[in-house]
Chain A
Amino acid sequence: MTAVFIILSLVTVASAIAAMTLRNLVHCALSLAVTFAGLAALYLQLNAQFVGFAQILVYVGAVAILIVFAILLTRGSEPPAEAIFSSKWFVGVAVASVVFAVIAAAVLSSRALPSESASMPSASVRQLGDELMTRYILPLEVLGLLLTAALIGAVILALRETANEQSGGAK
């Protein structure tokens, strides 16, 4: 537990709490971006450079922007008058404890858990690339196919209608 870890985890947890409790949705989205960045810093502290930078690139650079766009395009930017979180807190507590129990059970029964902190594992970008191109080539290809399908779906959604389809389909 170094000072860096304590500061990072405090920032991450505080911004996560802010993302849940703040009244203005845009503020929540921005706090969520801080949470993502804090997580990335934690990865970096664990010597996982690729994962850390990819986390920033994907989550801060793309997901946070997506959330912000979704907020702006779906509702007015005025903050709601009353608090936005549900008053039925016991349901939330129940769901949270069930999720925690499942994850804790999985972690505790896993054999990957090192009994003692052995030598620090290092995953250089080169190793990651080698593994992705040899051992995990099938999952990589499947992911590529999935993303291509999503891309084609997005293009079809935004496709311009031709004249004869317009009479039947458009509102």
Chain B
Amino acid sequence: MIDQIFVELKHWLMGLAPGQFEPIVSGLLSVAALILVFASLFALTTVLERKGLGRIQNRYGPNRVGPFGLLQPAADGLKTLTKEDIVPYSADGMVHFLAPLVLLVPAFLALAVLPMGRNMTMVELDAGVLFFFAAGAATELSVFMAGWSSRNKYSLLGAMRAIAQMISYEVPLILAAVPAIMTAGSLSTDAVVAAQAGYSGWLPHWYVLTPWGLAGFGLFMIAGAAESNRAPFDLPEGESEIIAGYYTEYSGFKFALFFLGEYIGMFAVSGLAITLFLGGWQAPVPFLQWIPSYLWFFAKLLGLILVFIWVRGTLPRLRMDQLMAFAWKFMLPMALVDLFVAGLWRFIPGGLARWLICLVLVAGSYVLLARGLASNSGVHKRSYRYAE
């Protein structure tokens, strides 16, 4: 069956290895497939992004290398590989070298718990979602390492901005994931996907199709964009303000590794959003179930990536105080309300009343919080009472 072709292939390859090497071979096969697939997706995304942004900004984008400019990533890869690797004279060599690796390795680790198809979760963990967030925790450290070790004021400023942003948005990110976990009753990614199986008529039982799920999905994607430093949350690298932030002093392949790490982080966050809210690898309508499950996962992933590109092309960058106010005065209370609504959803018996109550609660708190945020957006000089 075509749905299980990769699983069968892996079992067949494992059968070729002698018995005691089986765990090692299994691990190697999974890791090789993961790195290959997501590195290719990264290459594809760079082309899509540059062409999409070009389209939005009324210009062509890359179209010289290969048909439709599709071989552009190969040219870019060769260029970064052959570029001189410059380390600043006063930089902290060891930390400067380690920073891109500390970013990239956890980003790939986080991918391991995502169910990418039926029976295609690489590591089935009892606490998979928790593992995902734990792997993401190393990102902040790597950004700090890059910014500090470069001995460049712009780098350090960028790193401080990035850490402040990541810490602030990690709270709503995790809180927005909680309702889905709570409803599924498990931290395992497989169980969350299984809980969203089935259809009522043509509608799938995805969490995004409930009031709390819709709000949670929106919050999760916004916080995810901020976590992966995507526009409009790209203050840490703001070219027009602090050149490129924490990777100002990175060149050649180390810069490419940073770039790769950020995109893998974006794929990982989108993948978790798909797992938690968009039904994982399941088909949106029952009569399309014959399409293999992994194709659904990657189609959804590409869809979310396109949304990211679209948002990047159309929204201006936030200011620092707007960023913080948005995280603490809108995202956090909204996530808490969403948690409460998900609890209500569980205990009110089904029907129209449940829909109405939950929808009114979510929409009402959205309107109130947004108005509160808009009325307080003036900028004033800060002064502290006890901390000076």
Contact = CB atoms under 8 A, between A and B. Distances in A.
A64 interface: yes
A61 B170 CA distance: 10
B167 interface: yes
A131 interface: no
Interface string B132-150: 0111111011001100100
Contacts of B382: 160
- Choose among B135, B148, B384, B385 the residue with the greatest number of A CB atoms under 10 Å from its CB: B385
A56 B137 contact: yes
Contact of B134 (A56, A126, A159, A160): A56
A69 interface: yes
A166 B138 contact: no
B85 interface: no
A145 interface: no
B384 A61 contact: no
Interface stretch (A25-33, A83-91, A92-100, A102-110): A25-33
Nearest to A129: B187
Contacts of A24: 92
B380 A49 contact: no
Interface in B50-83: none
Contact of A53 (B95, B127, B383, B386): B127
Contacts of A69: 163
Nearest to A58: B137
Interface in A40-58: 40, 49-50, 52-54, 56-57
Contacts of B140: 61, 65
Contacts of B156: 72
Nearest to B144: A68
B387 A158 contact: yes
B145 to A, nearest CB: 7
A60 B141 CA distance: 8
Contacts of A27: 95
A50 B383 contact: no
B383 A160 contact: yes
A115 to B, nearest CB: 29
Interface in A130-167: 156-161, 165-166
A124 B170 contact: no
A157 B170 CA distance: 22
A14 interface: no
Given A65-B141, A69-B163, A170 B383 contact: yes
A24 B163 CA distance: 21
On chain B, which size bracket covers the interface?
A: 20 to 34
Most chain B beta carbons < 10 A, residue from A40, A54, A65, A166: A65
A77 interface: yes
Interface string B145-179: 10010000000100010010001001000000000
Given A158-B384, A161-B385, A33 B127 contact: no
Contacts, number: 90
B145 A30 contact: yes
Contacts of B141: 30, 33, 60, 64-65, 68
Contact of A125 (B130, B134, B137): B130
Contacts of A68: 141, 144, 148
A27 B98 CA distance: 12
A68 B133 CA distance: 21
B126 interface: yes
A59 to B, nearest CB: 9
B95 A57 contact: no
A57 B187 contact: no
Q: Which of B131, B137, B386 has the most CB of A within 10 A?
A: B137
A171 interface: yes
A169 interface: yes
A169 B187 contact: no
Given A49-B127, A65-B144, A57 B134 contact: yes
Contacts of A165: 385
B383 A166 contact: yes
Interface string B188-212: 0000000000000000000000000
A161 B95 contact: no
A33 to B, nearest CB: 6
26 contacts: A24-B92, A30-B141, A49-B127, A49-B130, A53-B134, A54-B130, A56-B135, A56-B138, A57-B130, A57-B137, A60-B138, A61-B138, A64-B141, A65-B140, A65-B167, A125-B126, A125-B127, A126-B186, A160-B382, A161-B383, A161-B384, A161-B385, A165-B385, A169-B385, A170-B385, A170-B388
Given A166-B383, A170-B388, 18 more contacts: A24-B92, A30-B141, A49-B125, A49-B126, A54-B134, A56-B137, A57-B137, A60-B138, A61-B137, A125-B187, A156-B386, A158-B384, A158-B387, A160-B383, A160-B384, A161-B384, A169-B385, A171-B388
